[in-house]
Amino acid sequence: MVFLTLSCWIRNRGPDRFWKVQELLKHARHFRGRKNRCYKLAVLAVRRAFVYATKSRKLKKRNMRTLWITRIAAATREHNMKYPILMHNLNKCSVQLNRRVISDIAITEPRTFLSLAKLARARQQEGFRAALGDGKEPPGVLSRVMLQ
């Protein structure tokens, strides 16, 4: 031991423990109970909160999409149609509006949404007409349909 003066005898720990602790506690100030004051409890709670926030940023995208789909489905059912019919026919018309915008339109612009629903319905009818045709076979084909 070579401590020749008092100032060499005293250990010099780091000077900024207080601020490091405060940096963590500031993320915990709105928590409930002792986790907003006591460092040991706050460490665990803050770590959990950060991990939940990270995971939820991915979940939020999924949840918002299901919400939009629910809203669009409800709005189309008011116009006597179903959600898959609307989306499929809008795709076939090459109208590339996404679900967020269609749900916003359904909420704030009801007439525009009605026009989109009618467009999808017309495209559906045209698809049916194209599929069913005249009820006759193409020329040169002999089958039961001709004999009826």
Residues that bind another protein (CB under 8 A): 47, 50-51, 53-54, 57, 77, 80, 82, 93-98, 100-101, 104-105, 108-109, 111-112, 114-116, 118-119, 122-123, 125-126, 128, 132, 135, 144-145
**Least distance to another protein, CB of residue 91, Å:** 10
- Alpha-carbon span 75 to 110, nearest angstrom: 9
Count of residues for the chain? 148
Q: Is 107 left (phi over 0), alpha (psi -120 to 50) or beta?
A: alpha
**Least distance to another protein, CB of residue 107, Å:** 10
What tokens appear for 66 in the block?
């299901």
Which of 8, 92 has the CB closer to another protein?
92
Which of 7, 96 has the CB closer to another protein?
96
Backbone phi and psi for residue 139, each to the nearest 5 degrees, phi listed first: -65, 140
**Least distance to another protein, CB of residue 119, Å:** 5
**Least distance to another protein, CB of residue 1, Å:** 36
Which of 11, 144 has the CB closer to another protein?
144
- Alpha-carbon span 142 to 146, nearest angstrom: 7
**Least distance to another protein, CB of residue 4, Å:** 42
Which of 8, 125 has the CB closer to another protein?
125
Which of 29, 144 has the CB closer to another protein?
144
Nearest to 117 by CA among 147, 55, 73, 61: 73
Q: How far is CA 60 from CA 29, 69, 101, 107, in A?
A: 25, 14, 17, 21
